[in-house]
Chains A and B, each alone.
Chain A
Amino acid sequence: MNLYLFSSPATFYPLAGRLAPWFAGAASILGVVGLWIAFAIAPTDFQQGEVYRIIFIHVPSAWMSMFIYLVMAFWGIMALSFNTRLSSMLAQSLAPTGALMTFIALWTGALWGRPTWGTYWAWDARMTSELILLFLYFGVIALRNAIDDPRRADRACALLSIVGAINVPIIYFSVKWWNTLHQGASVSLTAAPKMAATMLTGMLVLAFAAWFYTIAVSLWRVQAIILERERGAAWILSMRKAKMVTA
């Protein structure tokens, strides 16, 4: 199969429509399972008691906030290299969800910090750079809205997201480079995790749930973006005639 078949908005639109419900369904199931593990199965933490259960939202959303930005920057690189509209549209569809995940990570982090560290906020390296990430998302969204010409907006946002991508490794490695308030990494690809198996499982299940949620939402949003930007195109008109364009 020729992969480039789906690189135009016209062919990607129906594909997105077919894929999105599957990801949404998977996200819902994993979400329910994850929440079940988080509250019914995972035991009380020895040090933190029950409040640690915030981790099941905090860590997946933090992971997603960084991952989405990197994917957005990747599509920016694709857009600048190959000059394809769809790459920019995919990047455009990711930004709001990325900002949301960043906000959730910051919010849940603050609510977790208060009972455990005694403060809602501290200007330590990881928290500050995650806050910077939120501002970077806002910047990309604001730049998109400010530029009228969609192609110029595509290229400008692609460049901006690439430049800002340097922040993501800083967030990730900040707990290793600086010994400040936020705890070090408990989960790594190389070493054994430093937490109970059930807690880790719950976190991973909800991380996948967040990932599939992001994909579903992004596919749905890119469909809206395609319709907005490709307005009047022949394929849309014929799709309307075929009554496939329904709410």
Chain B
Amino acid sequence: MNDFLAMGGHGFFVWSSYGVTAVVLAIELFSLRARRRAAMKQASTTGDAR
């Protein structure tokens, strides 16, 4: 396990790469979900009597 994390001494580089990728993808997915929710909420209330 330690070897796995150490990645031959280059653990920082490998895990920063995979880590930042994961973070960036998560940010995209979360912001997309927020955008969809906002759009659906607005779509579902448009046209209602004020």
Contacts and interface: CB of A to CB of B under 8 A. Distances in A.
Interface of A: 39, 44, 49-51, 53-54, 57-58, 61, 96-97, 100, 103-104, 107-108, 111-112, 114-115, 213, 217, 220-221, 223-225, 227-228, 231-232, 236-237, 240, 245-247
Interface of B: 4, 7-10, 13-14, 16-18, 20-21, 24-25, 28-29, 32, 35-44, 46-47
Given A51-B7, A108-B20, A223-B36, 17 more contacts: A50-B14, A51-B8, A54-B13, A100-B25, A111-B14, A112-B13, A112-B17, A115-B10, A224-B35, A224-B38, A227-B40, A227-B42, A231-B43, A231-B46, A236-B46, A237-B47, A245-B40
A239 to B, nearest CB: 8
B14 A51 contact: yes
16 contacts: A49-B9, A49-B10, A50-B8, A51-B7, A57-B17, A57-B18, A107-B17, A108-B17, A108-B20, A220-B32, A224-B36, A227-B39, A227-B43, A232-B47, A240-B44, A245-B40
Contacts, number: 90
A49 B8 contact: yes
